[in-house]
Structure 1
Amino acid sequence: MTAPASQSRTPASVFHDLDHYVAVPRLSGLALSPDGSRLVTTVATLNRKGTGYASALWEVDPTGRQQAHRLTRSSKGESGAAFAANGDLYFTSSRPDPDGDEDSPTPALWLIPARGGEARVVLSRPGGVGGVRCARDADRTVVTADLFPGAADEEQHAALAKARKDAGVDAILHSGYPVRFWDSDLGPARPHVFAVEQGAGPSSGAVDAHGEVDGVHPHESEEEAAAPLPGTVDRSPALRLRLLTADLPAPLHEPSPVLSPDGTFALLSIPVPQKGADQRSALVRIDLASGERRTLIDRDGVEVDAAPVSPDGTRAVVVLDRVTTPTDPPQPQLHLVDTATGETTPLAHDWDRWPSPVAWTPDGSAVLALADSDGRRPVFRIDVASGEVRQLTSDDAAWSDLVVAPDGTVAYGVRSSYLYPPEVVRLDLASGEVTVLDGPVERPRVPGRLEEVGTTTPDGTRVRGWLALPEDDVAGGHPLLLWIHGGPLGSWNAWTWRWNPWLMVAQGYAVLLPDPALSTGYGQDFIQRGWGAWGDAPYTDLMAITDEVEARDDIDASRTAAMGGSFGGYMANWVAGHTDRFDAVVTHASLWALDGFGPTTDASFYWQREMTPEMSEKHSPHRFVQDIVSPVLVIHGDKDYRVPIGEGLRLWYELLSRSGRPAEADGSTVHRFLYFPAENHWILAPQHAKVWYQVVSAFLAEHVLGQEPPALPEVLGLTAPSKQDATEGKDAKG
């Protein structure tokens, strides 16, 4: 395999050195050309300052015979690759337009011609361009982009953008909910879906990033503009946008249009407002030529997600889910929908998994889907006529970004596990054989081994997980870290750059990655066990599998810590208030007082369905603060809108004032609070990820390993905690 040109060969010590670790290139996404001859993926590499990542498009040979080669290069990076029916490659980037006067401050739409040549900007506008989708068999492209509510067209949108910028105003007046999403403030511009068309003169041309109308020159015809000049590259007319989603009942948040292969229509899930600030979703069909919109599915108590359209365009496979209640968790199920009438038919309803349909086979006889299953995420084939489900892959891996070759013999996907990060692979759809393609990123060697572990709880339920261990055993066994996943509807089944166990294994720890109640991939009953009762079965499941692992000869049960983020952080807080068995607790972006979390999270309407006030009170960790005696490291980012910073601030104050280990009279404490003013629910900047791991490692070394307090990163401007703090921390346990 070949590494990106800007990166040297990945060293064997990558997990022993954070500088090397954050510099490992990161692969994601996959696009296949309509003729099946080209695969394109995205690789993110560390920038020169070490403060962020820039992504580039790479081409991978589907046959595996040729080395991967780089298609794009810029400091701003590129993303969102999509092939047009004629083989042209679209992508988005904020890099400077070589034909423009200024750098583009927002992502523009770029194109690399199928016949080769330099990439060029084909559409730029204030607010940028988001995702791009292309029909497989027709010259039809749509994009998502933000539009000001008061704008009827692109000219008005540009004028409003300029007015706000010139006035220095960033205020937003809301009239609905939600107002935030993850780490972004919503509004005043809102996402919409647009058809991309050839420009037709200044009055209807696209508006560029500077507010200028960009279309066919008034002194030349469209044919003249489209014709390449002698001795020059193609000089096609500019593109313009035609709005497809005007007058929706509620603003879109993450629009994901699904195009029919022939490009005549798109399916789109849209929000439907409900009483109060609640909402659900419906499915509409949009005629891409006329813009006519028809509702196909709109049912009380039902959520609907658009999914792939059949090769002949007559059917689509969609996911229908019930609107949750405090007693009823999600139950997503597949249906076939007639794209003309909206009539639905159940598909594979006896399959006890939560499927994500990704593609049809070219003959329309089957649907390929991905689903969490027993700590993996395999590829499944679902026969449309019979509903029979057959698992195609058997590796210990999680698949994503699956695309099917035109002849239906093979599919390509991105695959990862806890043994290797994402890589591009080919799947033989008949035999199930998997071939790793010669991709742009090498696998780093992990410094240990991975085992599957499990136990049976007192109620007879099987609970399993992964255990990452150092390569060699040591006398007395390895100290153990219990890592609790977020969600809570999720599974430890795929490589993660943020919570990567091998960084801790490289320091001698064993890391347990269990899937307790509420984890996906074990059936509906496994979800139901923990629904509305987070502190019950999820907690007892975690303790049961920890007991099982601690009984091993290669584990030192006297040196342990519990760690988690988001829901995992909630559970770490719950663990801290219900047992003193752990020498330390690390809680990241965690829910602490559920009564305060519910109305302030970015999706309060969803939380109100999750638990009744009585459930929230019963299962709120803050009620048990007086029982917390383990040293706790609190970590939170200020831009976290999913679990707002107030949760971390209240947790920190109550640890110091009301816990079983409050601050001393002189203000000293065994607890710590690592605060990131500019980070969100995840710690994404590489320099901050390094600080995260350094502080966590120091905290664990002190309280789990009993070492002298290690030196903290100099960039924090602090010295290590005192020896007295460390001694007090160990003596007070229990």
Structure 2
Amino acid sequence: MATGPTTPFHDLDHVNALPRVSGLAMSPDGARLVTTVATPSSDGTAFRAALWEVDPTGERPAVRLTRSAKGEAGAAFDGDGDLYFTSARPDPDGEGDGEPRPALWLLPRAGGEARVVLSRPGGVSSVHAASAAPAVFVMADLMPGASSEDDDAALREERSKAGISAILHDGYPIRFWDHDLGPGQPHLHAVRPVRPRRGDAAAPGTVDRAASELRDLTPGVGPALLHASPQVAPDGSFVLVGSQREVGAADSCSELVRVDVRTRRRRVLATSPDAEYFPGPVSPDGARAVVGVETRSTPLEAPRVSLAVVDLASGDLAPLAPDFDRWPIPLAWFPDGRSVLVVAADDGRAPLFRVEVATGAVTRLTDDDAAYSAACVHPDGGTVFGVRSSYGFPPEVVRVDVASGEVARLEGPAERPRLPGRLVEVETTAADGVRVRAWLALPRGANRTNPAPLVLWIHGGPLGSWNEWSWRWLPWNLVAEGYAVLLPDPRLSVGYGQDFVQRGWGRWGSEPYTDLMAVTDAAEARPDVDETRTAAMGGSFGGYMANWVAGHTDRFRAIVTHASLWALDAFGPTTDAAHYWQREMTPEMSVANSPHLHVGEIVTPMLVVHGDKDYRVPIGEGLRLWYDLLARSGRPAAADGSTDHRFLYFPDENHWILSPQHARVWYETVLGFLSRHVLGTERPQARGLGLEPPSDSSDAGVPG
């Protein structure tokens, strides 16, 4: 156990209690900023979010706007400055029968308490609003056989009363990440305020936004809006969505569709069998939109992500900054309509960039060691507000001066927690001459005379990067225990150019693996790192790499593999996105890169972690890995069944371990496994697993 000053990361319950900031919404006049802050529920078994207002000037402290046991999400301002959000909190004016579903709520600009705008049996998935008009839209499921809200309610009641949970599918996919799809199908709806009748309390001719109804803008669309990501025109006259179009057996691609609000006419603006189109923000004059374009990968060609501008009258699509060798995500237009704000991973960061529409010129706006998200542009065009984080600090709301690039942290709802160490960079050159870099989190006191044991932590994706704070993969919990944690970006990572991705494509066990070993060598060469006490771990693709590492080297004393791919021949057809996997590897590639074929070479103790509700990497991968370790590995179970391997199984968790109490068990179990095999010491077992006596136990009454 590490000694010295304590931080929140020295106590996992304290880590769970840290406020978690995400998302940002700005009022049309730029005077208000609203973010979401999640904290543990009163019983400590879930995280609940609340809306907080942050002062754009940075002068006043943040103010909490909402409070409920169910929490709130999805803040959006309409053109009048009213704030909408979704919540399953009980309606104070309702009867309170049954389990509430997320409803649409309104917090008026003029003040007062939040009130329900719209409640329906199927709930509301998300809310989207126009920036220059009082127009509000929601995504909400409708039963396939329903042609009205009344039909939908009747079908849901019939299903509930009959106790039926079965779902009949006629297409693909049927699952997505952590939830089953159907029987409801996503639709885009306009929220129509109901005008009071003569004699009602409200003044005649006014709009009572506490009473609204839905107008389905996408009847008969089926399951096509699974990944719609609506973008509303400033005047609310139309909405852009990504709509799934079938392109073959059990496969689809995303095309760009314009939905006219008045006529409900749907017009396809961009479609191709070779690319996916993702709607981005609409220009201030409503004439253009910036679009995300991703080429459809093949086993030989990695996807490419770029930008385009679509003329919303003609449908003409023009590439935007085609020579920008990063993967940009469009966030907002500048008020003059001449440039677009984007974010893109870049060398272990994710800065903000300004892209000129006429020339494609790209200007980097931020130079700090941070990753930005959820950014918006002030109406004056000279200021950008956003959420930033890094592995040096969790998400926080900031103000960026466009001209100077100066970044100011605003008075937010959460302070930066004190870290148990420091963050440095490590880099090396691979055998083929390619630069490979990583973040290295070092504990306080690590030096030449007191080198820290090393944990190699491999990111998921694989098209990702260790560039922003993650509450799920938090190295500081390990640093607080005295470990140095290496966070590398091997081949396939984004932020290093297209060629960096391409060189690892379809070659998971080749360059990505050798990159990891090379940068680990570089870290171990440091005098403040103990190369004799090391471990490796990762989740999802990182778990795949952990499995591959286990079968190809014995340099590590312990390996932790979470939600990991094990036998690629079985994984491909059973994941929730088998159609994508078919474009990722040929059967021959799957054989060449499958970790399970090297199980006989595994001699390192392994901790396997898997959630039963994981649909992206199905539980079968974890079950097969566990059996193979015990029966066929180079370190199998003994004749009496004893083994150094462990399997931490979560029946109610999915690809991510989300609940606070299970996150604590995850870290306690990982730390215990590492302590035993890397440090040679024993830690108490995770609380709640039933493996330790209760903390208040005594010998009283126990037979002698």
- Counterpart of 1:307, as a letter, is G
| 1:242-321 alignment, distance < 5 Å | 242-248=215-221, 250-321=223-294
Are 1:630 and 2:625 matched, yes or no?
Answer: no
| 1:49-68 alignment, distance < 5 Å | 49-68=43-62
Are 1:113 and 2:89 matched, yes or no?
Answer: no
- Counterpart of 1:609, as a letter, is R
Among 631, 637, 649, the alignment partner of 2:623 is 649
CA distance in 2, matches of 1:145, 1:235: 22
Among 363, 383, 390, the alignment partner of 2:336 is 363
Are 1:145 and 2:144 matched, yes or no?
Answer: no
Offset, 1:227:
2.4
Among 526, 530, 536, the alignment partner of 1:556 is 530
Describe the shift of the 1:250–1:76 C-alpha distance in structure 2 as closer, same or farther (beyond 3 A): closer
Q: 1:451: which partner in 2? A: 424
For structure 1, which segment, 48-57 or 597-606, has the greater mean C-alpha deviation from structure 2 after superposition?
A: 48-57
The Cα offsets for residues 383-427 of structure 1, whole Å up to 9 and x where unpaired, read as 111111010000000000001111111010001011110000001
Q: 1:6: which partner in 2? A: none
Q: 1:382: which partner in 2? A: 355
Among 696, 699, 702, the alignment partner of 2:676 is 702
CA distance in 2, matches of 1:155, 1:451: 59
Among 41, 65, 82, the alignment partner of 1:71 is 65
CA distance in 2, matches of 1:48, 1:236: 32
CA distance in 2, matches of 1:228, 1:116: 22
The Cα offsets for residues 176-234 of structure 1, whole Å up to 9 and x where unpaired, read as 0000001100000011111111237xxxxxxxxxxxxxxx6xxx34x8464299xxx99
CA distance in 2, matches of 1:58, 1:637: 32
Among 175, 196, 203, the alignment partner of 1:227 is 203
- Counterpart of 2:551, as a letter, is G
Offset, 1:713:
2.1
CA distance in 2, matches of 1:227, 1:130: 32
Offset, 1:430:
1.0
- Counterpart of 1:80, as a letter, is G
Offset, 1:441:
0.6
Q: 1:480: which partner in 2? A: 454
CA distance in 2, matches of 1:111, 1:249: 29
Are 1:585 and 2:585 matched, yes or no?
Answer: no
- Counterpart of 1:151, as a letter, is A
Are 1:331 and 2:304 matched, yes or no?
Answer: yes
What CA RMSD, in Å, does the superposition of the two structures yield over aligned residues? 1.6
CA distance in 2, matches of 1:185, 1:249: 16
User: Is 1:566–1:591's contact at 8 Å kept on the other side of the alignment?
Assistant: yes
Are 1:48 and 2:35 matched, yes or no?
Answer: no
CA distance in 1, matches of 2:640, 2:8: 41
Provide the secondary structure at the position in 2 that maps to 1:238: strand
Offset, 1:710:
2.2
Are 1:322 and 2:295 matched, yes or no?
Answer: yes
User: Is 2:167–2:183's contact at 8 Å kept on the other side of the alignment?
Assistant: yes
- Counterpart of 2:147, as a letter, is A
Offset, 1:348:
0.5
Alignment length (residue pairs): 687
TM-score (norm 1): 0.92
Among 26, 32, 35, the alignment partner of 2:26 is 32
CA distance in 2, matches of 1:691, 1:373: 34
The Cα offsets for residues 300-322 of structure 1, whole Å up to 9 and x where unpaired, read as 21110000111111111111221
CA distance in 2, matches of 1:197, 1:539: 55
- Counterpart of 2:679, as a letter, is L
User: Is 1:225–1:236's contact at 8 Å kept on the other side of the alignment?
Assistant: no
CA distance in 1, matches of 2:420, 2:246: 51
User: Is 1:228–1:236's contact at 8 Å kept on the other side of the alignment?
Assistant: no
User: Is 1:191–1:254's contact at 8 Å kept on the other side of the alignment?
Assistant: no
User: Is 1:336–1:344's contact at 8 Å kept on the other side of the alignment?
Assistant: yes
Q: 1:100: which partner in 2? A: 94
CA distance in 2, matches of 1:522, 1:33: 35
CA distance in 2, matches of 1:48, 1:309: 41
Provide the secondary structure at the position in 1 that maps to 2:166: coil
- Counterpart of 1:645, as a letter, is I
Q: 2:121: which partner in 1? A: 126
Provide the secondary structure at the position in 2 that maps to 1:441: coil
Unmatched tracts of structure 2, length 5 or more: 694-704
| 1:430-449 alignment, distance < 5 Å | 430-449=403-422
Q: 1:535: which partner in 2? A: 509
User: Is 1:249–1:273's contact at 8 Å kept on the other side of the alignment?
Assistant: no
- Counterpart of 1:676, as a letter, is F
CA distance in 2, matches of 1:235, 1:346: 44
Offset, 1:346:
1.2
Are 1:684 and 2:625 matched, yes or no?
Answer: no
Among 608, 620, 623, the alignment partner of 2:582 is 608
Provide the secondary structure at the position in 2 that maps to 1:679: coil
Q: 2:640: which partner in 1? A: 666
| 1:169-208 alignment, distance < 5 Å | 169-199=164-194
Offset, 1:719:
4.9
Identity between Structure 1 and Structure 2 (%): 63
CA distance in 1, matches of 2:304, 2:101: 39
Unmatched tracts of structure 1, length 5 or more: 1-10, 201-215, 721-734
Among 145, 148, 154, the alignment partner of 2:149 is 154
Provide the secondary structure at the position in 2 that maps to 1:704: helix
Among 532, 546, 551, the alignment partner of 1:572 is 546
Provide the secondary structure at the position in 1 that maps to 2:688: helix
CA distance in 2, matches of 1:314, 1:361: 14
CA distance in 1, matches of 2:332, 2:129: 15
CA distance in 2, matches of 1:589, 1:615: 21
Offset, 1:615:
0.1
Q: 1:394: which partner in 2? A: 367
The Cα offsets for residues 439-464 of structure 1, whole Å up to 9 and x where unpaired, read as 01111010101001100011000000
CA distance in 1, matches of 2:222, 2:481: 54
CA distance in 1, matches of 2:29, 2:392: 33
